[in-house]
Amino acid sequence: HLYGEEDKLSDEERKRIKGLAEGGFSGREIARRVRRSPQGVANVLSKDVEK
């Protein structure tokens, strides 16, 4: 159960996720690289888009 996982991500991890996304990596690849769930990565990226 991964609900709320995005809250455990540090600011540094969020920056890395966003940077990898800007670099063209897929959500699944980013999740593998930062060792987080694809859903957690998707949550970070979707929150960034909403702002």
Q: How high is the pLDDT of residue 5? A: 53
pLDDT of residue 1: 45
- For residue 37, what are the contacts with CB-CB under 8 A and spacing of at least 6? 2, 5, 31
Mean pLDDT (whole number) for 32-37: 94
Percent of the chain residues past pLDDT 70, beyond the cut: 78
Give the amino acid at 10. S
Candidates 1, 4, 33; CA nearest to 17 is 33
Q: Give the mean pLDDT of 43-49.
A: 83
Strands (E), 1-51: none
Write down the mean pLDDT value for the chain.
85
